[in-house]
Amino acid sequence: MNKVDRELLHLIQRDCRLTTAELAEQVGLSASPVARRLRLLEQQGYIEAYRAHLNKAKLGLQITTFVHVRLKEHQDAPVMAFEAAVKDMPEVVSCHTVSGAFDYLLQVLTADLAAYEKWVRELQRLTMVSQLDSSFAIREVKNHQPLPV
């Protein structure tokens, strides 16, 4: 990966709707080499997907909660079952295994506290879950940022 590839990654993170011609103009190449570079970056796995950044408030998702989860046991079966269940929950927009007192950190988006409570009850039905600790976001300072490439 060279400087031009990094610049292309930076540009498409900021606006994935830029045309090949627009990208080419910004990096000082013609459209054909830029298209080839993008295809290669996709094939090599540097570009996983192209997405739109949606407005949570306009979609009625007023509550952002960070939830620490501790499991009762850490054998493969309960871990895999928990992770599969979380992947099927549309409210969970990110899930990370973490170090420290808890096993996972989830970011959960819901319309309101009643929807959050309903989701918590669903999570608590998972038999491998031992403990939850929730932190409600008061104000978002930064969310969508390009990766430092």
Backbone angles phi, psi at 98, to 5 degrees: -135, 165
In the chain the domains, ranked by start, together with CATH numbers, are 3-43 (1.10.10.10), 63-136 (3.30.70.920)
Low-confidence ranges of the chain (pLDDT < 50): none
pLDDT per position as a tens digit, 31-60: 999 999 999 999 999 999 998 888 999 999
pLDDT number for residue 120: 98
| CA neighbor of 23 nearest in space, from 40, 5, 1 | 5
pLDDT number for residue 143: 81
pLDDT number for residue 147: 74
d(CA 77, CA 67): 22
pLDDT number for residue 149: 73
Count, residues in the chain: 149
Q: What is the 3-state secondary structure (H, E, C) of the chain?
A: CCHHHHHHHHHHHHCCCCCHHHHHHHHCCCHHHHHHHHHHHHHCCCCCCCCCCCCCCCCCCCEEEEEEEEECCCCHHHHHHHHHHHHCCCCEEEEEECCCCCCEEEEEEECCHHHHHHHHHHHHCCCCEEEEEEEECCCCCCCCCCCCC
